[in-house]
Each structure stands twice: as structure tokens, then as C-alpha cells.
């Protein structure tokens, strides 16, 4: 029983209802890649189980991933299970690579959330869970590492309900715990699955005999499960209330509907590393996660009329797809990953990029298996493929049929919080560096590049120190560029606290024709995260129309460099309300300078302040080090949000300015004899206290 399915040829004639597009999402170290490796082994996609510690996994194929034992880029693969086709994306767990998770969730129909049975719901699990909520992705949960010391299935379920707000449908009862863990009992069928006779876990024993000490728990858990499923279905609840137990088939159908409607989240248990409990999870993907036709039609807007339109997710509909990832491949060049929502795409044809209004040629179409590939002639609705040949299409662009255009919802990415200066080591590296950075920025929407003309330095921005470190490392290995790197710098911003007005007058008289530009602007604060807005309130032609654009440009450029310490100014509105012009001497450049001068004058009077990124930080420590760690946090301007017990450890949740966290990993290690760990992710921007702001300004001057 339970031998792996050995079908490896990519049968692409499978009906759409037998296709599952899903991703594996979780906190770092919960076991996502290990779980994916087991899935590939049991579905016959690979003949050897990959091991992260040995660096021979299929999905973590980049050199840096093998060395560090973490996933950096999401990898896509196609495999089969019991006649169903699985398109799987293994995503990173590290917060620095949050863009990879965001873009993967945007194009998936379902997800498996992997949790560590001892740690329960951790910070990044919460982040990816809410990302999945945003895109309405139905999920299953796999409580992994059931064999670990301190593993607690029930406590993990409680943390899923408390921290994620999910309504759990507990599908199994574990047999044994920690090193005694050997299998699970399926509550719906009352069958026990026991692993152990086969070291690779490909075969397992199925029995109707439930261990005596678990009978009572199984019956109670089953009653709870049946009640939870019945509550989601009117026909079943009336049956249940009359004391008639629904059939197994009725329960499965109702549960499938409830999962797809985000009403219930089925919970499974196992240990991927010990090869236990993965096959029932694969059956659950088939039984409960949606196929492309179970999810509603994809919604978008008509680029001509801006009216909302939708496309059915079938092959005989007009073509539409979303480019969700760019990858630079050393053999074939630029690969554009596309999720096809409707219609078909053929190699050698042209497709229309409605986000940019251009046609792009589809050179070749590839089905991906991590970094291996299979060439195909045509791709259908519901598939995830890589296109070779697109030149200008970037992440988040819609490609479609030119005669029936549609623009799908874009993918939003968080702003980078940390930067560092980088310069080429030699003249030879100079040109190569520009090319390499451009290529890496195409792949990664959270990686930004800015050139500082005055210092001749290039500043790169990212989501964290690890993110930037890996990008510099990739530049060296993949593009052979050697660079000198400065110390990481915090990405400060500026804003204003009140409304103020300012005037900019630019007059130059020289021999021939002079220059004249005159603008009056009003600057005002906006709510957090609302960005910049330019309002044209000119009445009666005080400034001719052709000079409004240059004024806006001058304002924008000026705000890019702030007014206090040269940091970009955010969340402000600038209203151009008056000005004057000269019939002969006025020019675009004069008004651009006037706009810049006016906004500088206004901002200086509007109580400008510096903002700094605040990180949500979770520190897990044995109780004996609590006092020292709390004392140290006090010196770091930390705000303690709360503490919670997790087994024998305490988790301290705090909000700490990023500027205070440089080198914190080393500090924490020495304070706790290497036993405490911490995790951080960007939370929000907040005003810098005056004494700190003065130091920042002094440094910049």
C-alpha cells in the first residue's frame, strides 16, 4: 500500500478538474523544502530523496541555497499523484525573500502551510498566512516535525486558531509523540496509517485496528470534526441534528466546498524528515484543494474602457496570463514565468502585454522542474510555464489576446528597509556591474538601485542584510563582478507634520534671453503609507498649462532628497495654487527650478521630521536569560508588545528600530550562551526622537 506513483512523463491531456496549482508556505526552518522533496519522491518525480543538510535537494538548486540550507528563490515543478497533475511552487521562509512568497501566492489556487510541531505558529507563518488571506488562497496545514522533542500537536492547533484566526478541521490523531511518533489515524475513515517498515516511507501499513489508548480520543475528535463539517452545509446540519450521521462521501464533498470557501482549514500531521505522514497530505490535496475551475473566474479591467471584466479559467476562452517572476538563466537567457488563467499560448506566436501596450514574441515555452526544463509547443489554462523571448515584460504585467485585452490585478511588494553602498573593484568591473545589477533588479522587485552622482557610488536597497548579502554574492558568482561593499545603512525617510506654504522664484538675466519661473505651493501631511500627491489648483491661467508638468517634476525631484538630511520625503500632498510667468523668458527649466525652490521653502516651514523603519522582532529564549535580554532591549529603544510561553522557552515580541539591531545576532548569542534565537520583519515607519534625529543630521552634514 502507498507505493510511489512512477508516472513521470508529463501527461498534459489531463482534464482541468484534475490539476492542482499549489504552493508550500511557512516560517523559516519549518520544513517546507524537505516536505516538497518527499512529495517529489513519493510521486515518482525524483528517484532519490534530497537532503538539505547534504545540499542535494531538487528544489534548492542555487549554490547559495545549498550552502546556507535555506530557500532563496521560489522553485516551480510539475508532478503526478494518482492521475492528478500537481504544479507545485516551493517558496522561501526567510522574511528577506518575502517578494518570492507574495508573487507565488498571487498565482496559486491553493497552499499547504507547514508548521513546526514544537514551535507552533511563528512570526513568518503569520505573515505568509495573511499574505495568503489577501489573495483568498484555500489552505491545508501540515504539522511537521512530530518526532521532535517538545512536539505538541494539540498546542499547535490551538496556536493556529488563536494566532491565525483559522477554523481548524483536525483530520488526524497522531500515534505516539516525539521519538515514539510512528503514524496517524485518519478520523473520517477511522483507518490507522503506520510507517516504520520501510526506511524511505514509500510503503506504509494501513489498518482498521486503532490502538486501545487512542480509541476514546479518536471518537471524540471524529465527533468534533463531523460537527464542524456539518455546520458548513445546510443539508448536513439538519441530518446531523436529527441524529443521522452523514456518509463519508457527503462529508468529503462538504469539506471540499468549505475549504474552497475559506470556512475550514484541514490539519494533518507527520514528519517529513523521517518520511512519515506525507502521502495522506497528497490525498488531501486531491480531495480538498481547488482545481483551476473550482475558483471564481479571474477578474480584471478593460484597458480601453476601464470597466471590470472577467475570464473563465478554461482553454476555450480568450487568452490571459500574469507574468509573476523573471529569472535569468545562464543557458537560455531571460525566463518569464507566466500563470495562464484562460485560453492557450503557443510558442512562436505573439502575445500582447496590456500593462505596457506592446506585443512580445513567445520564442519557446518551457515546463519547469526546479532548474530542469521540458520544451512544449502549447500551454493551456491552469498551467504555470516559463516563456523564453519576452524582452520588456516584468513581474506583475498582464499578457493577453490583443483583440480582447484585459489588465489583471498587479502584485504589490513592500518597500525596502536597508541599503548599502557598492562600487566596482576595477574599471573592468564597472560596466559589468551595471548590467548585473539591472538583471538582478529585473528578477527581484524588492531590490532597488540608485546612483549617487555626487559621490559616484551606487546604492542598493533590499529587505534585509541577508537579502543584500546574497545579491552581492550572486553578482560575483553569476556575473563575475568583484565589488567593494560598504556597511549596511538604514533606509530613513522624511515627512512633514503640518501644512505650510512656500514660494519659488527663479529669475536669470543674461545678455540675450532670460529665464523666469514663479510658483507658489502648499505642502500638507497625508496618512501613513498614502504616498505623494500633486494637486494642480491653478485658476485663470496664472501659469500656462505647459509649465505645470515641469513644476511637478521639480517638486518630485526635490522631495526625493528631502529637506533635513537628504532622505526621500513621503506621505505628503503638494498643491500648486498660484504663480506668474513672463511672455518671453519663461521656460520649462525655469519652472522646474521654481517648483523645486517653492517646495523646499514650504517643507522647511511644515515641521519636517525623520522617519525610521521599526521591526517587529520575536526573541525566543530560555527563561534564565530573560532578565539580561529585557535589560538590553531597554537600551535599544524597544517597545515590548508582549511575552508568551512556548514549551520551556519564552517568546518576547517587541518593536525595535532597525538602527538599533545592527549586529544583534552576535549580542544575543553571547548573552544567552548561544541558546536564544531571534527573527525580525519590517513593521512600520515611525518618527525618530529628536536627540537621535540630531545625530543623523550631524552625520549627513
pLDDT, tens digit, 9 for 90 and up, residues 377-397: 888 888 888 898 888 888 888
Report the pLDDT value the prediction gives residue 12, as an integer from 0 to 100.
60
Q: What is the CATH number of the domain that holds 399?
A: 2.40.30.10
Q: What is the CATH number of the domain that holds 425?
A: 3.30.70.870
pLDDT, tens digit, 9 for 90 and up, residues 282-313: 999 999 999 988 888 888 998 888 889 989 88
Same domain, 482 and 361: no
In terms of Cβ atoms closer than 10 Å to its own Cβ (0-12, 13-18, 19+), residue 149 is exposed
Q: CA–CA separation, 142 vs 100, rounded Å?
A: 21
Same domain, 140 and 282: yes
Same domain, 110 and 224: yes
Domains in the chain, number: 5
Whether pLDDT at 190 is above 50: yes
Q: What is the CATH number of the domain that holds 670?
A: 3.30.70.240
Classify residue 10: in a domain, yes or no: no
Q: What is the CATH number of the domain that holds 518?
A: 3.30.230.10
Report the pLDDT value the prediction gives residue 57, as an integer from 0 to 100.
43
For residues 370 and 58, is the Cβ–Cβ distance under 8 A?
yes
Alpha carbon 465 to chain centroid, angstroms: 17
Q: Which three cell numbers stand for residue 64?
A: 547559495
User: Within 13 A of 320's CA, how many CA atoms are on the CB side?
Assistant: 28
Q: Which three cell numbers stand for residue 179?
A: 521519538
Report the pLDDT value the prediction gives residue 14, as an integer from 0 to 100.
76
The answer to which of 165-179, 197-211, 540-554, 568-582 has the lowest mean pLDDT is: 197-211
Dihedral, 661, 26, 466, 337 alpha carbons, nearest 10: -140
Q: Provide the greatest CA pair distance for the chain.
A: 103
Report the pLDDT value the prediction gives residue 211, as an integer from 0 to 100.
85
Q: How far is CA 91 from CA 25, 283, 340, 397, 419, in A?
A: 6, 21, 19, 21, 24
Q: Three-state SS across 603-649?
A: HHHCCEEEEEEEEEEEEEEEHHHHHHHHHHHHCCCCEEEEEEEECCE
Q: CA–CA separation, 93 vs 434, rounded Å?
A: 29
Percentage of the residues of the chain whose pLDDT score is greater than 70: 88
Query: Which of 131, 140, 133 shows the shortest CA–CA distance to 102?
Result: 131
pLDDT, tens digit, 9 for 90 and up, residues 312-342: 888 889 999 988 887 777 677 788 888 899 9
Q: Which of 408, 436, 461 is the last residue of a domain?
A: 408
559-563 mean pLDDT: 91
Same domain, 664 and 591: no
Same domain, 517 and 598: yes
Whether pLDDT at 402 is above 80: yes
Same domain, 400 and 520: no
Classify residue 392: in a domain, yes or no: yes
Whether pLDDT at 122 is above 80: no
Q: CA–CA separation, 78 vs 58, rounded Å?
A: 12
Q: Which residues of 489-498 are buried (b: 16+ CB within 10 A; e: fewer)?
A: ebbbbbbbee
Within 10 Å of residue 381's Cβ, how many Cβ atoms? 26
Whether pLDDT at 92 is above 70: no
Q: CA–CA separation, 613 vs 76, rounded Å?
A: 33
Whether pLDDT at 45 is above 70: no
Q: Which of 587, 606, 625 is the last residue of a domain?
A: 606
Classify residue 4: in a domain, yes or no: no
Q: In which band, very low, low, confident or very high, does the pLDDT at 99 lie, cut at 50, 70 and 90?
A: low
Query: Which of 680, 663, 668 shows the shortest CA–CA distance to 622?
Result: 668
101-124 mean pLDDT: 81
Q: CA–CA separation, 455 vs 433, rounded Å?
A: 17
What residue numbers bound the domain in which 584 lies? Answer: 494-606
The set of residues, in sequence order, having a beta carbon less than 8 Å from that of 40 and lying 6+ positions away, is 46, 50, 58, 59, 77, 79
Q: What is the CATH number of the domain that holds 147?
A: 3.40.50.300
Same domain, 136 and 76: yes
Classify residue 334: in a domain, yes or no: yes
Classify residue 293: in a domain, yes or no: no
Classify residue 586: in a domain, yes or no: yes
Q: CA–CA separation, 88 vs 214, rounded Å?
A: 35
Same domain, 86 and 203: yes
351-358 mean pLDDT: 91
Q: Which of 408, 439, 459 is the last residue of a domain?
A: 408
Query: Averaging pLDDT over each range in 6-15, 496-505, 636-645, which range is the top one?
Result: 496-505
Same domain, 461 and 539: no
Same domain, 359 and 480: no
Same domain, 602 and 635: no
Classify residue 1: in a domain, yes or no: no
Same domain, 485 and 513: no
Classify residue 3: in a domain, yes or no: no
Report the pLDDT value the prediction gives residue 209, as an integer from 0 to 100.
85
Q: In which band, very low, low, confident or very high, does the pLDDT at 75 lie, cut at 50, 70 and 90?
A: low
What is the overall mean pLDDT for the chain?
83
Report the pLDDT value the prediction gives residue 454, as an integer from 0 to 100.
53
Within 10 Å of residue 329's Cβ, how many Cβ atoms? 13
Amino acid at each position: 500500500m502507498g507505493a510511489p506513483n512512477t508516472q513521470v512523463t508529463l501527461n498534459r491531456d489531463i482534464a482541468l478538474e484534475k490539476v492542482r496549482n499549489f504552493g508550500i508556505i511557512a516560517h523559516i526552518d519549518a520544513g517546507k523544502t524537505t516536505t516538497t522533496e518527499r512529495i517529489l519522491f513519493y510521486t515518482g518525480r525524483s528517484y532519490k530523496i534530497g537532503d538539505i543538510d547534504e545540499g542535494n535537494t531538487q528544489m534548492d538548486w542555487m549554490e547559495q541555497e545549498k550552502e546556507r540550507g535555506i530557500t532563496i528563490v521560489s522553485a516551480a515543478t510539475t508532478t503526478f499523484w494518482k492521475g492528478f497533475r500537481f504544479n507545485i511552487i516551493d517558496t522561501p521562509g526567510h522574511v528577506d525573500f518575502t517578494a518570492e512568497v507574495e508573487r507565488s501566492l498571487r498565482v496559486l489556487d491553493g497552499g499547504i502551510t507547514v508548521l513546526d510541531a514544537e514551535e507552533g505558529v511563528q512570526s513568518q507563518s503569520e505573515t505568509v498566512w495573511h499574505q495568503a488571506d489577501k489573495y483568498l488562497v484555500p489552505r491545508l496545514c501540515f504539522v511537521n516535525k512530530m518526532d521532535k522533542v517538545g512536539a505538541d500537536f494539540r498546542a499547535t492547533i490551538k496556536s493556529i486558531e488563536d494566532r491565525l484566526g483559522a477554523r481548524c478541521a483536525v483530520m488526524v490523531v497522531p500515534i505516539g509523540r516525539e521519538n515514539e511518533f510512528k503514524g496517524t489515524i485518519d478520523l473520517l475513515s477511522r483507518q490507522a496509517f503506520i510507517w516504520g517498515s520501510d526506511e524511505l516511507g514509500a510503503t506504509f501499513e494501513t489498518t482498521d485496528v486503532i490502538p486501545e489508548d487512542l480509541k476514546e480520543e479518536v471518537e471524540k475528535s471524529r465527533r468534533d470534526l463531523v460537527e464542524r463539517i456539518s455546520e458548513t452545509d445546510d443539508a448536513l446540519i439538519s441530518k446531523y441534528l436529527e441524529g443521522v450521521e452523514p456518509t463519508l462521501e457527503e462529508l468529503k464533498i462538504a469539506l471540499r466546498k468549505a475549504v474552497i470557501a475559506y470556512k475550514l482549514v484541514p490539519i494533518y500531521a507527520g514528519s517529513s524528515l523521517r518520511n512519515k505522514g506525507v502521502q495522506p497530505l497528497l490525498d488531501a490535496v486531491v480531495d480538498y484543494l481547488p482545481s483551476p475551475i473550482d475558483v471564481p473566474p479571474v477578474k480584471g479591467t478593460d484597458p480601453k474602457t476601464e470597466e471590470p471584466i472577467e475570464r473563465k479559467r478554461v482553454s476555450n476562452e480568450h487568452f490571459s496570463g500574469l507574468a509573476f517572476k523573471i529569472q535569468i538563466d545562464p543557458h537560455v537567457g531571460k525566463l518569464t514565468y507566466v500563470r495562464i488563467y484562460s485560453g492557450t499560448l503557443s510558442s512562436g506566436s505573439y502575445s500582447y502585454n496590456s500593462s505596457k501596450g506592446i506585443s512580445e514574441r513567445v520564442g519557446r515555452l518551457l515546463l519547469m522542474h526546479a532548474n530542469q526544463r521540458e520544451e512544449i509547443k502549447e500551454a493551456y489554462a491552469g498551467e504555470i510555464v516559463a516563456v523564453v523571448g519576452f524582452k520588456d515584460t516584468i513581474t506583475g504585467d498582464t499578457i493577453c489576446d490583443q483583440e480582447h485585452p484585459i489588465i489583471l490585478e498587479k502584485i504589490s511588494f513592500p518597500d525596502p528597509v536597508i541599503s548599502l553602498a557598492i562600487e566596482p573593484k576595477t574599471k573592468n568591473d564597472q560596466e559589468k556591474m551595471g548590467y548585473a545589477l539591472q538583471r538582478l533588479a529585473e528578477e527581484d522587485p524588492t531590490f532597488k538601485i540608485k546612483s549617487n552622482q555626487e559621490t559616484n557610488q551606487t546604492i542598493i536597497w533590499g529587505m534585509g542584510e541577508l537579502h543584500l548579502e546574497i545579491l552581492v554574492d550572486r553578482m560575483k558568482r553569476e556575473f563575475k563582478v568583484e565589488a567593494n561593499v560598504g556597511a549596511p545603512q538604514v533606509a530613513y525617510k522624511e515627512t512633514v507634520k503640518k501644512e505650510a506654504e512656500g514660494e519659488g522664484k527663479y529669475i536669470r538675466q543674461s545678455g540675450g534671453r532670460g529665464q523666469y519661473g514663479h510658483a507658489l505651493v502648499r505642502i500638507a501631511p497625508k496618512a501613513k503609507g498614502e504616498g505623494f500627491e500633486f494637486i494642480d489648483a491653478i485658476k485663470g491661467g496664472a501659469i500656462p498649462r505647459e509649465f505645470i508638468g515641469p513644476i511637478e517634476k521639480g517638486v518630485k525631484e526635490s522631495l526625493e532628497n528631502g529637506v533635513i538630511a537628504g532622505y526621500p520625503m513621503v506621505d505628503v500632498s503638494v498643491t500648486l495654487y498660484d504663480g506668474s510667468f513672463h511672455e518671453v523668458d519663461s521656460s520649462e527649466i525655469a519652472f522646474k527650478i521654481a517648483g523645486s525652490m517653492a517646495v523646499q521653502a514650504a517643507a522647511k516651514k511644515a515641521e519636517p521630521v525623520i522617519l525610521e523603519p521599526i521591526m517587529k522582532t520575536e526573541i525566543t529564549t530560555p527563561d534564565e536569560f530573560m532578565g539580561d535580554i529585557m535589560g538590553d532591549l531597554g537600551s535599544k529603544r524597544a517597545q515590548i508588545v508582549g511575552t508568551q510561553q512556548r514549551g520551556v522557552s519564552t517568546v518576547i515580541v517587541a518593536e525595535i528600530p532597525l538602527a538599533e539591531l545592527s549586529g544583534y545576532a552576535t549580542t544575543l548569542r553571547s548573552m544567552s550562551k548561544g541558546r536564544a534565537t531571534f527573527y525580525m520583519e519590517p513593521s512600520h515607519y515611525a518618527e525618530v526622537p529628536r536627540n537621535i534625529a540630531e545625530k543623523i543630521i550631524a552625520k549627513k552634514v
